[in-house]
């Protein structure tokens, strides 16, 4: 049975779902987060050298002081002019001299003040001119950098596929709503069909495989959808099975609802059906088995499925009367199970295999026959995988509320692993057999509304050590201190020193001498007398007067800002993912758990909404990885000439007359194709839209398939073998 597409329009861009590469869904990355910041800091105004300001301030204070001194001198001169009428013209001369001296001192201070102010203004102007030039060129470089970054970011994809690992042989998906599981099956199934055949066993009674089958048929993929039990006559779940495989499949399906199914009961049922198949010969069908069981029970059979010889052989030779009495309960149970399945596969003739095969339990209330068909479909897939030598397909089992026994699921997993088939189990809940099987392969979680299931999932993901913020202290303060001190002092010291010294002295003396001079006159002689005196007197007087004046002014201004931000972190051991986060997942959010070496856990957040392909910035390949943003390194440009009015560049308060050289921009990746952002559309199963331009199928050769089973080699109308316009 093939699902007919009743929606108007062509599948259009939904065909992008069939691009090569198995995927879980898409991960989102904000392209704006990849912007490379402009690493050059904004230029700042330079502070004027302290010496210029000190000289200007000192000149101002000296000028003000000399002006005050000049005013005082003017007052003294005026007093001298008034007193000159009484004393004389000498005071007039004194007043004029004092005025001239005061004016000279003020003129000298004014010249110093003008010179210091001119030096300060010249230095400030040079610094401001240099700042304005640097500011203009900095904004030009930043604008050029931001423009290129904007063009590059607008060309990046926002959604990228999360691929299925090449070594992923089994995937367990837990939780989710019907629409969420349908979206995942559509995304995963369409990407799988590009690589291998796909078998879907839909036991949800919600037909979540419908959208996948409709899209596959629109893409010219051979589709075979078998609805059970409404169209079980067209089903092939028992077609091609050998009698012993059919017997084992039926027995396991009959006991599929009993977790404690004994080997004895299963062995008895197997023995009865095996002997019955041997009696029926080569032509074994469920209708003939049902007729044979009725013969064993002694009931009338009007179906004409058995000939008279077969009925007699079954009634007389298969079991004796004693054995019939011992196994009567088993015969009645087998007849009750087989009777509703008599029409299974009777109208299958003329139906070829499908590259996509779906066994789906259709809408309707649950019944014993419906549950039996669900178990039988799984047993049929298992037997086919074990017996046929075809290329290994991918098997997806979407379990319903009733679920399957753990031993059946584990046996299916073993068969798929032995054959190299990929197995996907979609569990609606994380409980019972599903909770016992978690961890057998890659694990993914859809929304788990039940708190116990969310706790079990969080426990599986595990806990880890991390440092979390536990305290935050933010302190901000500002202190402004201004003090002005002025000291004016004068000192006059006058001293008189009088010194007088008188030295008086007298020195009087006389001398007399007589000498005999011999010769002819013996009486000759000579005599002399000396007398003298001296007197001295010294008087001295000295006077000294000292006058001094001093004045000092001190001005101090202090302005300080202080900001402190202190954070405290504490090491904790807690859930990697909290249970409440699993309960609050969006309908199409899928968390894929990846175990890494060393025991760490990496959780990928995926969106499995098929309508994402309608957006323009969605890639069917993983998003490219970029290196961390390097520190900006600048060099001098070739030219510093800049237009004074560049579009989009904010203008400084003053237009510089010249500017320094500007560094070039750091490396920016080549811009990709610019894709405008399209609005996100809500997911609606089966809705199609036709875009103005359809993508072309990639030229890819699918794996060759051997004959038999579900596939007969690659379908001739496989997408990529005969590309055409699907739009």
How does pLDDT run across 92-124, given as a tens digit for each residue?
787 788 888 888 888 998 999 999 899 999 999
- Which residues have a Cβ under 8 Å from the Cβ of 518 and sit 6 or more positions away? none
pLDDT of residue 544: 55
Q: What pLDDT is stored for residue 677 in this prediction?
A: 34
Q: In this predicted structure, what is the pLDDT of residue 391?
A: 75
Supply the pLDDT for residue 603.
92
pLDDT at 671: 36
**473 pairs with which residues across the strands?**
566
How much is the pLDDT for 144? 95
Q: For position 610, what pLDDT does the model report?
A: 94
Which of the pair, 115 or 553, is modelled with greater confidence? 115
Model pLDDT, residue 688: 36
The pLDDT value recorded for residue 89 is: 76
Residues with Cβ within 8 Å of 680's Cβ and at least 6 positions away in sequence, in order, are 612, 615
| Average pLDDT of every residue of the chain | 77
Contact in structure between 215 and 190 (CB atoms under 8 Å):
yes
Give the whole-angstrom CA distance, residue 68 versus residue 94.
20
Contacts of 343 (CB under 8 A, 6+ apart): 232, 233, 287
Q: Per-residue pLDDT for 226 more than 80? A: yes
What's the confidence (pLDDT) of residue 553? 63
Identify the residue with better confidence: 255 or 482.
255
Distance CA 61, CA 40 (A): 43
Residue 438 · residue 174 · CB < 8 Å:
yes
Q: What is the pLDDT of residue 652?
A: 36
Sign (positive or negative) of CA dihedral 179, 166, 383, 285? positive
Q: How far apart are CA 88 and CA 91, in angstroms?
A: 7
User: Is 112 or 690 the better-scoring residue by pLDDT?
Assistant: 112
Q: What is the pLDDT of residue 651?
A: 37
- pLDDT value, residue 320: 80
Residues 198-211 have a mean pLDDT of 93
Distance, CA of 68 to CA of 62 (rounded, Å): 10
| Confidence band for 674, pLDDT divided at 50, 70 and 90 | very low
Give whichever of 145-154, 320-329, 463-472 has the largest mean pLDDT.
145-154
pLDDT, position 325? 81
User: What does the pLDDT read at residue 241?
Assistant: 82
Write b or e for each residue in 581-619: b if 16 or more Cβ atoms lie within 10 A of its Cβ, otherwise e.
ebbebebbbbbbbeeeeeeeeeeeebbbbbbbbbbebbb
Q: What's the CA gap between 127 and 121, in Å, rounded?
A: 10
Question: What percentage of the chain has pLDDT greater than the value 70?
Answer: 72
Q: How far apart are CA 89 and CA 649, in angstroms?
A: 77
How far is residue 434's CA from residue 413's CA, in Å, rounded to a whole number? 13
Q: CA quadruple 166, 167, 170, 176: dihedral positive or negative? A: negative
Is the model's pLDDT at 146 over the cut of 70?
Answer: yes
Is the pLDDT confidence value at 540 over 90? no
Over residues 32-47, the pLDDT tens digits come to 999 999 989 999 998 8
pLDDT confidence of residue 542: 55
pLDDT at 317: 80
In tens, the pLDDT along 626-657 reads 876 554 443 333 333 333 333 343 333 333 33
Mean pLDDT of 428-446: 91
Looking at residue 633, its pLDDT comes to 41
Per-residue pLDDT, 450 = 93
Confidence of residue 591 (pLDDT cuts 50, 70, 90): very high
Token pair in block for residue 42: 């904004």
| C-beta separation of 456 from 577 below 8 A | no
Partnered with residue 144 across adjacent β-strands are none
Q: What mean pLDDT do residues 405-419 have?
A: 90
Q: Which residue has the higher pLDDT, 568 or 15?
A: 15
**Tell me, what's the pLDDT at 151?**
93
The mean per-residue pLDDT over the stretch 535-564 comes to 62
Ranking 60-69, 105-114, 362-371 by mean pLDDT, the lowest is 362-371
Output the pLDDT for position 304: 80
């Amino acid at each position: 049975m093939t699902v007919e597409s009743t929606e108007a329009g062509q599948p259009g861009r939904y065909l992008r779902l069939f691009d090569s590469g198995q995927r879980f869904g898409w991960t989102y990355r904000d392209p704006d987060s990849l912007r490379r910041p402009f690493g050059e800091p904004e230029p700042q105004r330079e502070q004027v050298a302290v010496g210029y300001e000190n000289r200007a301030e000192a000149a101002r204070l000296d000028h003000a002081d000399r002006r005050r001194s000049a005013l005082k001198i003017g007052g003294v001169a005026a007093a001298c002019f008034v007193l000159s009428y009484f004393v004389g013209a000498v005071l007039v001369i004194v007043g004029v001299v004092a005025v001239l001296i005061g004016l000279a001192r003020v003129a000298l201070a004014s010249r110093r003040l003008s010179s210091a102010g001119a030096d300060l203004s010249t230095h400030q102007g040079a610094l401001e001119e240099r700042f304005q030039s640097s500011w203009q060129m900095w904004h030009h470089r930043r604008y050029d950098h931001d423009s290129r970054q904007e063009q590059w970011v607008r060309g990046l994809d926002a959604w990228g596929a999360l691929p299925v690992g090449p070594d992923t042989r089994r995937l367990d998906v837990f939780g989710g709503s019907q629409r969420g599981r349908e979206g995942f099956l559509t995304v995963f199934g369409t990407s799988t069909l590009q690589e291998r055949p796909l078998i879907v066993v839909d036991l949800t009674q919600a037909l979540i495989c419908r959208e996948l089958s409709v899209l596959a048929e629109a893409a010219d993929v051979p589709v075979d959808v078998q609805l059970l039990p409404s169209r079980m006559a067209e089903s092939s779940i028992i077609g091609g099975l050998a009698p012993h495989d059919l017997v084992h499949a039926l027995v396991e399906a009959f006991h599929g609802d009993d977790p404690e199914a004994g080997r004895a009961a299963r062995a008895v049922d197997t023995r009865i059906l095996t002997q019955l198949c041997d009696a029926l010969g080569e032509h074994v069908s469920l209708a003939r088995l049902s007729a044979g069981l009725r013969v064993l029970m002694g009931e009338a059979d009007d179906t004409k499925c058995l000939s008279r010889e077969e009925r007699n052989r079954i009634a007389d030779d298969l079991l004796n009367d004693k054995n019939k009495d011992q196994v009567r309960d088993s015969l009645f149970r087998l007849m009750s199970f087989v009777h509703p399945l008599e029409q299974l596969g009777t109208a299958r003739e003329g139906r070829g295999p499908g590259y996509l095969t779906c066994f789906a339990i259709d809408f309707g209330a649950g019944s014993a026959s419906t549950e039996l068909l669900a178990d039988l479909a799984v047993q049929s897939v298992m037997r086919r995988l074990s017996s046929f030598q075809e290329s290994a397909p991918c098997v997806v089992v979407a379990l319903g509320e009733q679920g399957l026994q753990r031993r059946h699921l584990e046996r299916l997993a073993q068969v798929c692993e032995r054959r190299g088939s990929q197995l996907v189990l979609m569990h609606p809940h994380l409980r019972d057999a599903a909770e016992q099987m978690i961890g057998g392969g890659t694990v993914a979680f859809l929304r788990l509304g039940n708190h116990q299931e969310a706790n079990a999932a969080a426990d599986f993901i595990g806990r880890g050590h991390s440092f979390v913020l536990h305290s935050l202290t933010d302190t901000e303060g500002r202190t402004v201190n201004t003090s002005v001190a002025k000291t004016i002092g004068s000192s006059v010291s006058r001293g008189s020193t009088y010194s007088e010294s008188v030295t008086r002295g007298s020195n009087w003396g006389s001398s007399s001498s007589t000498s005999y001079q011999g010769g002819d006159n013996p009486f000759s002689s000579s005599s002399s007398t000396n007398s003298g005196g001296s007197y001295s007197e010294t008087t001295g007087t000295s006077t000294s007067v000292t006058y001094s004046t001093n004045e000092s002014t001190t001005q101090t201004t202090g302005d300080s800002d202080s900001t402190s931000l202190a954070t405290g972190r504490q090491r904790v051991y807690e859930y990697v993912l909290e249970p409440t986060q699993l309960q609050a997942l969006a309908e199409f959010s899928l968390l894929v758990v990846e175990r890494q070496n060393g025991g760490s856990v990496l959780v990928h957040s995926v969106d499995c909404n098929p309508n994402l392909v309608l957006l323009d910035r969605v890639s069917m390949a993983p998003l490219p990885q970029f290196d961390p943003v390097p520190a900006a390194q600048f060099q001098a440009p070739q030219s510093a000439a800049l237009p004074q009015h560049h579009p989009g560049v904010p203008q400084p308060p003053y237009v510089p007359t010249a500017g320094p050289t500007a560094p070039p921009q750091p490396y920016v990746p080549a811009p990709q194709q610019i894709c405008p952002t399209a609005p996100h559309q809500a997911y609606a199963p089966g809705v199609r839209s036709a875009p103005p331009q359809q993508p072309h199928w990639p030229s890819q050769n699918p794996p060759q398939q051997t004959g038999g089973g579900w596939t007969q080699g690659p379908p001739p109308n496989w997408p990529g073998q005969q590309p055409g316009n699907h739009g």
